[in-house]
């Protein structure tokens, strides 16, 4: 099972903001869309990733003043991405080793989607249920 399968189920949409947008505006996107991160882009270029964890850190360090600062002050700049051909097992390894829950999907330098740990868990659960169902059918046939 690959990233391509996940994206064909959930679509290519990725929430993104420009680096100079205020943190408060990015927070509104996270809250309204009920998501955990946004990709920070300048045109087509990925500049960083901002997750709810970065917001917590910025608020802890700067208090409410952080909300008026640009997203670029709080985001992670070195972004790890994946490709459409990567396996879900590989994604799980990367997310576990790096301790994060989001991976933008990049093909030929272009952002084509985003996979969250929730997408991975959902897919694994579907497979697990399908396997259980197949085993149950097999047992009932015997």
Does the footprint of ligand AMP cover residue 36 (CB under 6 A)? Answer: yes
Told to check if 16 binds ligand AMP by CB under 6 A, we report no
Rounded CA separation 72/87 (Å): 31
Min separation Cβ 64 and ligand AMP, Å: 20
State in angstroms the smallest separation of the CB of 136 from ligand AMP.
Answer: 36
Residue number, 28 or 136, with CB nearest to ligand AMP: 28
Instruction: Give how many residues touch ligand AMP by CB under 6 A.
Output: 14
Query: Does 54 help bind ligand AMP (rule: CB under 6 A)?
Result: yes
Stretch that binds ligand AMP, among 18-26, 84-92, 100-108, 125-133 (CB under 6 A): 100-108
Report the residue from 103, 111, 115, 123 that binds ligand AMP according to the rule CB under 6 A: 103
Residue count of the chain, please give it: 142
Name the segment binding ligand AMP (CB under 6 A); options: 12-20, 47-55, 123-131, 132-140: 47-55
* Residue 100 binds to ligand AMP (criterion: CB under 6 A): yes
Q: DSSP readout, the chain?
A: -BHHHHHHHH-S---EE-TTSBHHHHHHHHHHHT-SEEEEEETTEEEEEEEHHHHHHHHHHHGGGGGGSBGGGTSBSS---B-TT-BHHHHHHHHHHHT-SEEEEEETTEEEEEEEHHHHHHHHHHHHHHHHHHHHHHHHH-
Report the 10 Å Cβ neighbour count for 119: 21
The residues of the shown chain that bind ligand AMP, judged by CB under 6 A, are: 36-37, 49, 51-54, 76, 79-80, 100-103
């Amino acid at each position: 099972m690959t990233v391509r399968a996940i994206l064909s189920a959930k679509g290519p949409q990725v929430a993104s903001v420009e680096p100079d947008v205020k943190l408060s505006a990015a927070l509104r996107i996270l809250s309204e869309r009920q998501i955990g991160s946004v990709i920070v882009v300048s045109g087509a270029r990925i500049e960083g990733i901002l997750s709810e964890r970065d917001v917590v850190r910025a608020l802890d360090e700067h208090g409410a003043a952080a909300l008026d600062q640009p997203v670029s002050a709080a985001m992670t700049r070195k972004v790890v991405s994946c490709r459409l051909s990567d396996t879900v097992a590989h994604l799980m390894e990367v997310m576990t080793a790096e301790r994060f829950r989001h991976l933008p999907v990049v093909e030929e330098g272009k952002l084509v989607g985003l996979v969250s740990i929730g997408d991975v868990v959902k897919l694994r659960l579907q497979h697990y249920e399908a396997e259980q169902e197949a085993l149950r059918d097999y047992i009932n046939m015997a």
